Chain A
Amino acid sequence: MRAIGTIALRELRSMFLSPLAWTLLAVLFAITAYMFMAAVFNYQVKLVQFQSYGEVGKLSLTDWTIAPMLGNAAVMLLLIIPMVTMRLFAEEKRRGTWAAIASSPLAPMEIILGKYLGLLLFLAITVSLLSLPTFLLFFFGKPDLGQLLSGLLGLFLLAASFGAVGLAASSATDNPIVAALAAFGLLLLLWVAAWMGEAGGSGVGLLLGYLSITGHYQNFLTGVVSSTDLVYFLLLAATGLLFARQRLMAERIRG
């Protein structure tokens, strides 16, 4: 347990000691904040239109500002998380520091959980930072707090599962760029999985629909926290971690 914490804290520190984490956070924050602002202005325009029809009550502030912003943030994370996770194992193997870790009395899962926990802390910081602009809305209107929290939970779960996929990709190579590309490709594939859903017939279509990230995430944005969606993200994360464990064990044998 102690080793997991030790590794997690070192990972988190090393992220903030390099300019990478700061740059990613700055870019992510600036762009999502801009998108949020755009959504708010768009809402105002819509508000004027709806007023002329006398249907202002049907226009949900949360649906028109917070939900699209969190939706866009997810797309940004799809691009950015592979860049955060690519170093986790690949960089250690490339720099040779892996030998110091691998010759320590640690089970593979301890190393993986340590690195993953460090990553989760970073992602928690990221999601908190991204959520800051949304709270400004409370000064000007009455957004749905429950829906906002459900959306943020969804974003964190999405980020956490993306992180596990990225970690798995990083464990499979000693080249960070290859790790980033592999993770990005996999995540994008999961993102668009449902596109084939209608053509795939009822059985395959349902399966592709379930595999697709978008549907599960969308539910959180509308304020619905269901166990199906929770389980989906947890399963995706667990699969990533177990794959990484398999890789580390196989590496001892393959060399």
Chain B
Amino acid sequence: MPEIMIEISDLTRNYGSTKALDSIGFQVQRGEVMGFLGPNGAGKTTAMRILAGILAPTEGSVHVAGLDMIANPVAARAKIGFLPESPPVYDEMTVREYLTYLAGLRRVPRARLRGAVEHTMDRCGLKHVADRLLRNLSKGYQQRAGIAQAIVHSPEVVILDEPTVGLDPIQIREIRQLVRELGGEHSVLLSTHILPEVRMTCNRVAVINQGRIVANDTLEGLEQKAASSGSFFIRWLRPPDPELLRQVPGVACIQEKQGGWTITPCKGEDPIPELVHRSAAQAWDLRELVPTGESLEEIFLHLTTREEDGETSAVETSREVLS
């Protein structure tokens, strides 16, 4: 019987007149690692700060391990561990002092304090730097210390905001390994704008764009959807203006690729006959038409790129996602 550890519903957050979150909702089960995916500025950090009890929502409800974060924030915060975008480390403290301090604030009983700190340092690979000042540690170790403070009190829910940003590839691999290990024991919500990271660490993924949840599924579910999306690759000798392609009825999303276009149709529609007809009538000179299905990247682009954003932003987003 899976237990719901994070439950967010109808969550809205306004900053003045800007809507950072627009009525989002999702659940995370016990032991699950949930990827929270979206382009920069989509509202990930706002949602995570609300979950961590640092920010109050404008509307909606947040429950952590069954406790209401808005009505009962002190008790609910005891159930979470939070790593913000930049590791919240005190320069002048050693790793051991730092973890002991925060474990104390998170109400770890005095008798278990020492054990909890040592165990956490072990888990995060911090043992050999335990007595060094945080200011003298590399970004990777500071990040580990940041993760360590999020789990030192064995919270049931761990919230990690972009834990691998700014790390080198080896550090990234180690952090991802650690995150995978955290699932099972803790429920983890991990935000990122890097797709492979989701593939490597998460069971489920929620995609957020412009303050709304645009997809919420298991990784397999998303990939299945991708395969059955009916996308195809099409190439002409004299390709038309992309605007003309977008106007073809049934075309949802187009993307330039290897001299041609990958086209995703709208749900349940088939633009191929119309495209073939037009290419013959207007002498675009059709050379290639291959069914492809969508890659995860394309799904993501498709979900997070709106028509009015146009081509440039699609290209920018794809660069970001694929980097």
Which of these binds chain A: B104-112, B208-216, B290-298, B302-310? B104-112
Q: Is the interface of A mostly helix, strand, loop or mixed?
A: helix
Contacts of B106 in A (CB 8 A): 104-105
The answer to whether B107 touches A98, judged by C-beta atoms less than 8 angstroms apart, is: no
Give CA–CA (A207, B67) in the complex, Å. 48
B84 at the interface (CB under 8 A from A): yes
Contacts of B86 in A (CB 8 A): 96
The answer to whether A103 touches B80, judged by C-beta atoms less than 8 angstroms apart, is: yes
Contacts of A96 in B (CB 8 A): 84-88
Known contacts: A105-B77, A252-B56, A253-B56. The answer to whether A100 contacts B92 by CB under 8 A is no
A149 at the interface (CB under 8 A from B): no
Give CA–CA (A105, B107) in the complex, Å. 8
The chain B residue sitting closest to A99, CB to CB, is: B84
Contacts of A7 in B (CB 8 A): 105
The answer to whether B105 touches A101, judged by C-beta atoms less than 8 angstroms apart, is: yes
The answer to whether A103 touches B53, judged by C-beta atoms less than 8 angstroms apart, is: yes
Contacts of A253 in B (CB 8 A): 56
Known contacts: A96-B84, A99-B88, A105-B75. The answer to whether A252 contacts B55 by CB under 8 A is yes
Contacts of A100 in B (CB 8 A): 82, 84, 88, 102, 149
Scan A103-136; emit 1 where CB is below 8 A from any B CB, else 0: 1111100000000000000000000000000000
Give CA–CA (A185, B91) in the complex, Å. 30
Known contacts: A3-B107, A7-B105, A96-B84. The answer to whether A102 contacts B90 by CB under 8 A is no
Give CA–CA (A17, B89) in the complex, Å. 15
Give CA–CA (A252, B92) in the complex, Å. 27
Give CA–CA (A14, B107) in the complex, Å. 21
Contacts of A103 in B (CB 8 A): 52-54, 77, 80-82
Contact count band on A: 20 to 34
B26 at the interface (CB under 8 A from A): no
The answer to whether B90 touches A97, judged by C-beta atoms less than 8 angstroms apart, is: yes
The chain B residue sitting closest to A252, CB to CB, is: B56
Give CA–CA (A17, B90) in the complex, Å. 12
Contacts of A98 in B (CB 8 A): 88
The answer to whether B105 touches A6, judged by C-beta atoms less than 8 angstroms apart, is: yes
Give CA–CA (A7, B86) in the complex, Å. 22
**Quick one: which of A99, A103, A107, A253 has the most chain B CB within 10 A?**
A103
The answer to whether A99 touches B89, judged by C-beta atoms less than 8 angstroms apart, is: no
Contacts of B85 in A (CB 8 A): 96
Give CA–CA (A235, B172) in the complex, Å. 53
The answer to whether A102 touches B149, judged by C-beta atoms less than 8 angstroms apart, is: no
Give CA–CA (A103, B52) in the complex, Å. 6
Contacts of B56 in A (CB 8 A): 252-253
Question: In the complex, what's the smallest C-beta–C-beta distance from A84 to chain B, in angstroms?
Answer: 16
Give CA–CA (A104, B13) in the complex, Å. 22
Contact of B105 (CB < 8 Å), options: A3, A18, A95: A3
Give CA–CA (A97, B78) in the complex, Å. 18
Question: In the complex, what's the smallest C-beta–C-beta distance from A11 to chain B, in angstroms?
Answer: 11
A10 at the interface (CB under 8 A from B): yes
A255 at the interface (CB under 8 A from B): yes
Question: In the complex, what's the smallest C-beta–C-beta distance from B204 to chain A, in angstroms?
Answer: 23
A2 at the interface (CB under 8 A from B): yes
The chain B residue sitting closest to A102, CB to CB, is: B54
Contacts of A252 in B (CB 8 A): 54-56
Give CA–CA (A107, B53) in the complex, Å. 11
Residue numbers of B with Cβ under 8 A of A are 13, 15, 46, 49, 52-56, 74-75, 77-78, 80-82, 84-93, 101-102, 104-107, 110, 149
* Pairs A–B under 8 Å by Cβ, sample size 21: A2-B104, A3-B105, A6-B101, A6-B104, A14-B92, A96-B85, A96-B88, A99-B52, A99-B84, A100-B82, A102-B53, A102-B54, A103-B52, A103-B80, A104-B102, A105-B75, A105-B107, A106-B77, A107-B74, A252-B55, A255-B13
Residue numbers of A with Cβ under 8 A of B are 2-3, 6-7, 10, 14, 17-18, 95-107, 252-253, 255
Closest 5 CB pairs of A and B: A105-B78, A100-B88, A99-B84, A103-B82, A103-B52
**Known A96-B88, A105-B107; 19 more pairs at CB < 8 Å:** A2-B104, A2-B107, A10-B101, A14-B90, A14-B93, A95-B88, A96-B84, A96-B85, A96-B86, A97-B89, A97-B90, A99-B49, A100-B82, A103-B52, A104-B105, A105-B74, A105-B106, A252-B55, A255-B13
